[in-house]
Amino acid sequence: MTTPDQTPPENIQGDAAPDAPRASSAGAAGGRGRLAGRAAIVSGAAQGIGLATTGVFCQEGARVVMVDVDEAALAAGAASLSGKALEVLPCKADITKFEECEHAVKLCVEKFGRLDILVNNAGVTKDGLLIRMSEADWDFVLDVNLKGAFHLTKAAVRPMMKAHWGRIINVSSLVGQEGNAGQANYSASKGGLIAFSKSCARELASRNILVNAVTPGFVHTRMTEHLPDPVRKYFLDKIPLGRICEPVEIARAILFLASEDASYITGAVLPVNGGGYT
């Protein structure tokens, strides 16, 4: 069965985004916006939720290292944001490799002088019934979704610990909370990401590094536009708001957790699912 998380996201670029930046107090290095002066790394930034998050962050004054394994998509994603006076730095990196995560962190610190925010957003699916699921398919999904977040987080916390300030937001999924037939590997990785967030939150709180997770529901993608009506209806019927989420709506929730507005929130799981479950 096709599931929401299988679908590639709609082409939500900088255009789609965000409301006009809100006037707010100056950040760490001056400027305006809720993330003014901050530097961030967003993984899986080439498209979908990661690209929308990059756009929202930049509009709020942050500089962003866009990490993705897909070089062509990364170039296209960064290009879609250009011309908007945004400061982004594309960085091709495979988060399953620790050295490449270290490189991304080094790049951010070298070019932007700091690393304040990490968004572990990169994710993959390889769906199938448990009885037929190969070890390779299990490992592939766990390696990217869970181990990749571990790698990038481990590399990113060094400069955050030195600065005594940090925000880490992990993009989990409602499937990580509820499970889903045909997605044993994916749901395990996303459930693991929630537990990982809570442990990191406890471990890093004394350094003022806050770690939270968001759990998107059914996010609007190109593929969902072509879902057969009965499948679309099946998912829509479970969503009280009666519509599919746009990537920028996930990005705004991530922005909240990255901002000073969330200064007393850590170890939390923020569902962004239209009320699709409680």
Ligand X SMILES: NC(=O)c1ccc[n+]([C@@H]2O[C@H](COP(=O)([O-])OP(=O)(O)OC[C@H]3O[C@@H](n4cnc5c(N)ncnc54)[C@H](O)[C@@H]3O)[C@@H](O)[C@H]2O)c1
Residue 122 C-beta: closest distance to ligand X, Å: 4
Task: Give yes or no for residue 8 binding ligand X (CB under 6 A).
Answer: yes
* Integer-rounded Cα radius of gyration of the chain: 18
Residue 78 C-beta: closest distance to ligand X, Å: 12
Look-up of token digits 């890093």:
204
Task: Give yes or no for residue 171 binding ligand X (CB under 6 A).
Answer: yes
Stretch that binds ligand X, among 28-36, 102-110, 128-136, 217-225 (CB under 6 A): 217-225
Stretch that binds ligand X, among 64-72, 132-140, 159-167, 262-270 (CB under 6 A): 64-72
DSSP letter assigned to residue 205: G
Q: Which of 54, 80, 153, 173 binds ligand X (CB under 6 A)?
A: 173
Q: Provide the H-helix boundaries in 120-172.
A: 135-142, 148-163
Task: Give yes or no for residue 144 binding ligand X (CB under 6 A).
Answer: yes
The two tokens of residue 252 are 């705004």
Beta bridge partners of 272: 216
Task: Give yes or no for residue 18 binding ligand X (CB under 6 A).
Answer: no
Number of residues in contact with ligand X under rule CB under 6 A = 32
Known catalytic membership, residue 186:
yes
Angle at 4 between CA 223 and CA 59, to 5 degrees: 80
Q: Which of 54, 80, 96, 185 binds ligand X (CB under 6 A)?
A: 96
Task: Give yes or no for residue 182 binding ligand X (CB under 6 A).
Answer: no
**CA 136 to CA 141: how far, in whole Å?**
9
The two tokens of residue 172 are 């989990």
**CA 274 to CA 133: how far, in whole Å?**
31
Q: Which of 119, 160, 194, 219 binds ligand X (CB under 6 A)?
A: 219
Q: Which of 60, 68, 116, 127 binds ligand X (CB under 6 A)?
A: 68
CB atoms within 10 A of CB 202: 12
Q: Which of 18, 27, 123, 274 binds ligand X (CB under 6 A)?
A: 123
Q: Which of 28, 76, 86, 94 binds ligand X (CB under 6 A)?
A: 94
User: For ligand X, which is the closer residue by CB, 40 or 69?
Assistant: 69
Task: Give yes or no for residue 73 binding ligand X (CB under 6 A).
Answer: yes
CB-based contacts of 228, cutoff 8 Å, min separation 6: none
User: Of 87, 28, 23, which Cα lies nearest the Cα of 55?
Assistant: 87
CB atoms within 10 A of CB 100: 19
* C-alpha neighbours within 13 Å on the C-beta side of residue 265: 18
User: For ligand X, which is the closer residue by CB, 36 or 173?
Assistant: 173
**Contact in structure between 24 and 33 (CB atoms under 8 Å):** yes
User: For ligand X, which is the closer residue by CB, 163 or 269?
Assistant: 269
User: Of 89, 87, 82, 48, which Cα lies nearest the Cα of 67?
Assistant: 89
Task: Give yes or no for residue 41 binding ligand X (CB under 6 A).
Answer: no
Query: Which residues are catalytic, by number?
Result: 186
> Interface residues with ligand X (CB under 6 A)?
4-5, 7-9, 43-44, 46-50, 67-70, 73, 94-96, 121-124, 144, 148, 171, 173, 216, 218-219, 221
